[in-house]
Chains A and B, each alone.
Chain A
Amino acid sequence: MAYLNLTNITKQYGDAVVVDDFNLDVEKGEFVSFLGPSGCGKTTTLRMVAGFEIPTTGKITINGVDVTNNAPNQRNVGMIFQAYALFPNMTVAQNIGFGLRIRKESESAVKDRVKEMISLINLEKHADKYPYQLSGGQQQRVALARALANRPQVLLLDEPLSALDAKIRVSLRAEIRAIQKALGITAIFVTHDQEEALSISDRIVVMYEGKAEQVGTPFEIYNFPKTQFVANFVGSLNNADGEVVDAANGILAMDGVHLKTADAELSTSRKGDKVRISIRPERFSFAAEPMKDNVVDCTIENITFLGSVVRIQISIGNTKFNMDTFNNPFLELPAIGATEKVMCSKEAVLVLGTA
């Protein structure tokens, strides 16, 4: 049995179903992210694990113990909030030691643990400072240390990096991941930032309208999205309408151009079925390797410089696609209006439902 188990969780407020029959097993030491747009139910699910919300139906177990109806202070679950939620009247050391003092641990044990936690987050010089004397990143590190000080069974992180600026966000997420791995703690991380989820997680749960659309590793979620929503929400995606030409051999037609696909979705289709074709921009490249599955003519419509990436807008037939290529100082870009050959592998052509 998994360490953290959510079974058939549903949460309703009046007639509104916020979380709908949600199921998830999380192994001990795993880092799972809930990813989705605002209002998809990810925070509500996290709050149900924390005990701040009680599921309308379903069961939550941690380490084999049913905690569904337990109060938040009886679950030993650590929580980190977007707004840090440090106690303004307490110093860094007092904040970190708060939970231990509530548990009535001896003062020497509290001191030792606080010292250990402060060194874990590298804030030794700030132990006697108040939260308002710290930067946002430092405050969130204190919040992390405070949550970990109690040795929680599960660590819950509710968009902990959203209030920080971009650079701090990147460094702190790496720090959170390193600490989580070092301590082997089970963690659930809520975010609407796909890059954050892809970079930090062992597994990602993509949520939409209260349901888990897809659960998988970052690699699976990005490369093999199972639904149109997942494909669109995670990363950039080109979409086009097409038609099945030969389902057995995975051949599709789009604006008179034939494309090969390896998508298993096609096996249930029949010739003439309308389908939605999706290709990620970075899966296109200029045709230097003629043996690729799909080599097609295109017209260069526009070129946009995005720093590390150059985005080229191409049209294949009447359909416009974006194509991403890595920037380098010696990159030779085609002229706008020129006709070029582009290619992509058959694995890059995804069939995500009907058109």
Chain B
Amino acid sequence: MSAITTDAPVGQGKKRWSFRQAGTRFWSWVWFLLGAIYFLVPLYATLRHSLRMERDVIGFKAYVRAFEDNDFWETFLLSNGLAVATIICSVILIVPTAYWIRLRLPQARRIAEFITLLPFVIPAIILVFGLIRTYSAPIDIPFTGIELLKPLTTTKFGTYALITAGYMVLAMPYMYRSVDTGMRVVDIRTLTEAAQSLGAGWFAIITQVILPNVRSALLSGALLTFAIVVGEVTLAAFLGVDAFGPYLFLIGQHRAYEPAALSFVTFLMTWFAMGMIQFVTGGQGQAAGAH
């Protein structure tokens, strides 16, 4: 009876493996290039369009015109201010919430995750109408007639507070998930207990131990929040806030080249911000994950 042999000549297995590896690498490059083309071609088209304001001349006239416009600077700075306010308020609200849920209320995680997903299924238009309907009239304590809160939409500060709260809702899925993921990477329960055994109270634990160790997650969430707020149109338009989103929408309807220039600049700023995050948090991921 002859034996069934499965021996291959020496080196054949290795060769087969390297062919397979080369094939995998080839397809990886193909998908990468397709992805890059998908993102870069529209960007190139926008750039090219923005540089052709003058007939047969490639120049920066659209950029100069856009930057000369006072409305641009006013709306841009306002949106930046609102973005910073949104980020600060989100951090104050979301970091302790995510921390407490991870530490003491793990059973509430599903509920929190469900709530953070709501902005994906409830359109911004519904949110803004809800905000206007609720906060454009005074809020009374039921059955007492005592006024608890004056109408927010009648003052500038009140409107800014309202739109910031609305932006917080829109940014919540990104901010919460970034922070929650960051907390999953570092063992916050043990770090908390270690800090407690060294005499630290809750404020010291959050500010000195938890926040620095979720810094990169926070920055990622902050970047996404920034991008959402700066480009947001619906809330700003309906609340009557002269923000950058409605401005961009407006000039897009009346001018041809400036919107392309501003879009490209906004894109570059986003990339600059991402680069800064990489630069600032370069070694932090390693440190946070070390055990």
Binding site for B on A (CB under 8 A): 50-52, 71-73, 76-79, 81, 83-89, 98-99, 102-103, 130-132, 143, 146-147, 150, 156
B199 CB contacts on chain A under 8 angstroms: 73, 76, 99, 102-103, 150
> Known pairs A85-B194, A88-B288. 14 more at Cβ < 8 A?
A73-B200, A79-B193, A79-B194, A81-B193, A81-B194, A84-B291, A89-B213, A89-B284, A98-B200, A102-B198, A103-B199, A130-B287, A130-B290, A131-B287
Q: For residue B193, which residues in chain A have a CB less than 8 angstroms away from its CB?
A: 50, 52, 72, 79, 81, 85
**Closest chain B residue to A87, Cβ basis:** B209
Cα A206 to Cα B40 in complex, Å, equals 67
List A contacts of B196 (CB < 8 A).
Answer: 51-52, 71-73
CB-nearest residue of chain B relative to A133? B290
Q: Which residue of the partner chain, among B190, B212, B288, contacts A85 with CB atoms under 8 Å? A: B190
Q: Which residues of A contact B187 (CB under 8 A)?
A: 83, 85
Contact B291 A89 (CB under 8 A): no
Contact partners of B186 in chain A: CB under 8 A: 88
Of the A-B pairs whose beta carbons lie under 8 Å apart in the complex, a sample of 13, sorted by A's number, is A50-B197, A52-B193, A72-B193, A72-B196, A72-B197, A79-B193, A79-B197, A87-B191, A88-B289, A89-B215, A99-B199, A102-B199, A156-B197
Cα distance A265–B186 when bound, in Å?
Answer: 53
Q: Are B198 and A99 interface neighbours, CB within 8 A? A: yes
Closest to B193 in A: A52
Contacts of A102 in B (CB 8 A): 198-200, 204
Return the 8 tightest CB-CB contacts between A and B, nearest first. Answer: A132-B290, A99-B198, A85-B194, A79-B197, A89-B212, A72-B196, A88-B287, A85-B190
Q: How many A-B residue pairs have CB under 8 A?
A: 84
Chain A residue contacts of B12, Cβ below 8 A: none
Residues in A neighbouring B213, C-beta threshold 8 A: 87-89
Which chain A positions have C-beta within 8 A of B208? 87, 98
| Complex Cα spacing A102 to B194, Å | 13
Structural contact, B287 and A132, CB atoms closer than 8 A = yes
Q: Given that A52-B193, A88-B186 are contacting pairs, would A83 and B200 also be in contact in the complex, using a CB cutoff of 8 Å?
A: no
Complex CA–CA separation, A83 to B198 (angstroms)? 16
| B290 cross-chain contacts in A, Cβ below 8 A | 88, 130-132
Contact residues in B for A72 (Cβ distance below 8 Å): 193, 196-197
> Chain B interface mostly helix, strand, loop or mixed?
helix
| Residue B13 is within 8 A (CB to CB) of chain A in the complex | no
B291: A residues at CB distance < 8 A: 83-84
Q: Are B194 and A150 in contact, with the CB atoms below 8 A? A: no
Docked complex Cα distance between A102 and B288 (Å): 21
CA distance A146 to B191 in the complex (A): 13
- Look across to chain B and name the residue whose beta carbon is closest to the beta carbon of A96: B198
Distance in Å from the Cβ of A184 to the closest Cβ of chain B? 20
Closest B residue to A156 using CB positions: B197
B201 on interface, CB distance cutoff 8 Å: yes
Q: Roughly how many angstroms separate A131 CA and B287 CA in the complex, as a whole number?
A: 7
Asked if B85 CB lies within 8 Å of chain A CBs, one says no
Q: How far does the alpha carbon of A105 sit from the alpha carbon of B186 in the complex, in Å?
A: 28
Distance (Å) between the CB of A3 and the closest chain B CB?
18
Kindly state the separation between the CA atoms of A72 and B201 in the bound complex, as whole angstroms.
9
Q: Is B195 an interface residue (CB 8 A)?
A: yes
Q: Does B286 sit within 8 A of A, measured CB to CB?
A: yes
Chain B residue with minimal CB distance to A77? B197
| B212 / chain A contacts, CB cutoff of 8 Å | 87, 89
Residues on the A chain within 8 Å of B283, using CB: 130
Smallest distance from the beta carbon of B240 to chain A beta carbons, Å?
43
Partner of A132, one of B195, B204, B289: B289
Is there contact, CB below 8 Å, between B201 and A73? yes
Determine the distance from Cα of A79 to Cα of B283 in the docked complex, in whole angstroms. Answer: 28
Q: Which residue of B lies closest to A84 (CB)?
A: B291
A50 to B197, CA, bound (A): 7
A336 vs B191: C-alpha distance when bound (angstroms): 57
Closest to B185 in A: A88
Residue-wise interface mask of B (247-291) relative to A, using a CB-CB cutoff of 8 A (1 in contact, 0 not): 000000000000000000000000000000000000110111111
A84 CB, min distance to chain B CBs, angstroms: 7
* CB-defined contacts of A150 to chain B, threshold 8 Å: 198-199
Whether A89 contacts B288 in the complex (CB less than 8 A), given A81-B190, A83-B190, comes out as yes
Bound together, the chains give a CA A102 to CA B198 distance in angstroms of: 8
B81 to chain A, nearest CB (A): 29
Residues of B close to A77: CB separation below 8 A: 197
